[in-house]
Amino acid sequence: MEEHVSRRRWPLVVLTSSPFHGHMTPTLQLATALHAKGFPIAIAHSNLNPPNPSNHPSDFTFLPLSDNNLSTIEKYASFTDFISALNQNCKASFKEHLTRLIMSQGNKSIVVIFDNVMHFARIVAVDMNIPAIVFRSTSAAYFPAFLARLQIRQQGRFLEEDFAMQEIVPNYHPLRYKDLPFSTSPVEEWKQLVSNFSQQAHPSAIIWNTIKFLEHESLTQIHNHLQVPVFAIGPLHKIKPSSYVSSHQVDTSCITWLDKQPPKSVVYISFGSLATMDAKVLTEMAWGLAKSNQRFLWALRPGLVCGLEWLELLPEGFVGETRERGLIVKWAPQKDVLAHFAVGGFWSHCGWNSCLESISSGVVMICQPFSVDQGVNARYMSYVWKIGLELEQVEREEIRRMIKRVMVDEEGEEMRVRVNGMKEMVKEAVGNSGSSQESLEGLVNFILSR
């Protein structure tokens, strides 16, 4: 939108930002994109991992939610317990903020966009007659996988006990049982999770951080299932590049190190902001990497192994043996790393942001999924789009073979050609008249028509 159009006539968009890094980043990118279109923006956030206002336009309003001292996720028995506490603790405070905003500008001039894990915002908004749009930062393909998983639980069966994990789930090709989200949560909890973003929960629309050409089929399934407008406006980091919003200390020295490495010679390794593993897995990874003889940059987040301060759980001799060709940092500037000429492959947990960033930079993946949508994403990266290989067995010799296939063999080169083609398609999608830009325009008009 042109700057001369007065922002006061546009509704205030109140976005909820969740404490998870992988959710918060795209939410803030979405806020920046809508702000550039002309909307005034308010960000409601928990006090756990709050966004830093100084990284954002000065006219963003920040609405801290009294979250009753919400603890970090590790303090809860399960992910679901943490989400319940987040929703219970923040609801009253969000309602107070909205009440105050309505008193100053009326409910016709407010629209809420809520992160799907912060469904308290939808309940409050709908109660106050304010349109509530859900924002999803997972892959769209996760949605059908989630439904498949619910069906299995409703039949009283357990994924882990009752199925051959390598078999395709009937009616859910290409997903195998092993790709579905793992959880032993009771059926009622699954139903609640589904209803949080289903039709009964009345989202006015869904915004998805994905791209039409990539997930057309899943997006159509979602539209048919929920019967509300679906806006695929990703990848948001390309729609509105913005400064890093990380609460982690970013170690940029790795870029200087990468500058000195030959083109496409370095494997970048990162498992995102939440995944955890046991020490044995870390040991196998380290020795597989050492045996591969390839250069590497490892973003080894403290806390990746429970109780790990940092490097002390790496096997003895590993750092000395690989010092000449490897660098380990705590937190890397991932988007810059993936865009660097020296990076030839990305060994990843397949979080959706990491997948989008890898595809946008034309980097092939070694996929080692852990939880949530990562199994689904890994399946698409490896089996459907054929731009990655899935590591099925975390064992040093298998890892050595996998790194060689991706970094050295013809197979890796063929995947690289494919992913570079996709990188060009991403550029088109986010360019003028591209599908993601058109969806963003559609979203703007949708909000204005409320």
CB of 89 to ligand UDP, least distance (A): 21
Q: In terms of CB distance, is 131 or 369 closer to ligand UDP?
A: 369
CB of 139 to ligand UDP, least distance (A): 10
Q: Does 274 bind ligand UDP (CB under 6 A)?
A: yes
CB of 355 to ligand UDP, least distance (A): 7
CB of 17 to ligand UDP, least distance (A): 14
CB of 359 to ligand UDP, least distance (A): 12
With CB under 6 A as the contact rule, the residue among 7, 22, 36, 76 that binds ligand UDP is 22
Q: What is the crossing angle of helices 435-448 and 410-430, to 10°?
A: 40
Q: Does 210 bind ligand UDP (CB under 6 A)?
A: no
Q: In terms of CB distance, is 20 or 143 closer to ligand UDP?
A: 20
Q: In terms of CB distance, is 175 or 254 closer to ligand UDP?
A: 254
With CB under 6 A as the contact rule, the residue among 51, 131, 144, 272 that binds ligand UDP is 272
Q: Does 29 bind ligand UDP (CB under 6 A)?
A: no
Show the 3-state SS of the chain. CCCCCCHHHCCEEEEEECCCHHHHHHHHHHHHHHHHHCCCEEEEEECCCCCCHHHCCCCCEEEEECCCCCCCHHHCCCHHHHHHHHHHHHHHHHHHHHHHHHHHHCHHHEEEEEECCCCHHHHHHHHCCCCEEEEECCCCCHHHHHHHHHHHHHCCCCHHHHCCCCCECCCCCCCEHHHCCCCCCCHHHHHHHHHHCCHHHCCCEEEECCCHHHHHHHHHHHHHHHCCCEEECCCHHHHCCCCCCCCCCCCCHHHHHHHCCCCCCEEEEECCCCCCECHHHHHHHHHHHHHHCCEEEEECCCCCECCCCCHHHCCCCHHHHHCCCEEEECCCCHHHHHCCCCEEEEEECCCHHHHHHHHHHCCEEEECCCCCCHHHHHHHHHHHCCCEEECCCCCHHHHHHHHHHHHCCHHHHHHHHHHHHHHHHHHHHHCCCCHHHHHHHHHHHHHHCC
Q: In terms of CB distance, is 204 or 209 closer to ligand UDP?
A: 209
With CB under 6 A as the contact rule, the residue among 90, 226, 299, 406 that binds ligand UDP is 299
With CB under 6 A as the contact rule, the residue among 332, 367, 389, 403 that binds ligand UDP is 332
Q: In terms of CB distance, is 61 or 371 closer to ligand UDP?
A: 371
CB of 68 to ligand UDP, least distance (A): 24
The window from 175-183, 256-264, 273-281, 339-347 that contacts ligand UDP (CB under 6 A) reads 273-281
Q: Does 331 bind ligand UDP (CB under 6 A)?
A: yes
CB of 442 to ligand UDP, least distance (A): 25
With CB under 6 A as the contact rule, the residue among 93, 292, 334, 436 that binds ligand UDP is 334
CB of 224 to ligand UDP, least distance (A): 26
Phi and psi, residue 164, nearest 5° = -80, 110
Q: In terms of CB distance, is 101 or 274 closer to ligand UDP?
A: 274
Q: In terms of CB distance, is 171 or 252 closer to ligand UDP?
A: 252
CB of 365 to ligand UDP, least distance (A): 11
Q: In terms of CB distance, is 46 or 204 closer to ligand UDP?
A: 46
Q: In terms of CB distance, is 19 or 272 closer to ligand UDP?
A: 272
Integer Cα distance of 318 and 305 in angstroms: 17
Encoded amino acid at 247, one letter: S
Q: List the x/- string, 344-383, binding to ligand UDP by CB under 6 A.
A: -------xxxx--x--------------------------
Q: How many angstroms from the chain centroid is the CA of residue 233?
A: 14
By CB under 6 A, name the binding residues for ligand UDP. Answer: 20-22, 25, 246, 270, 272-275, 299, 331-332, 334-335, 351-354, 357
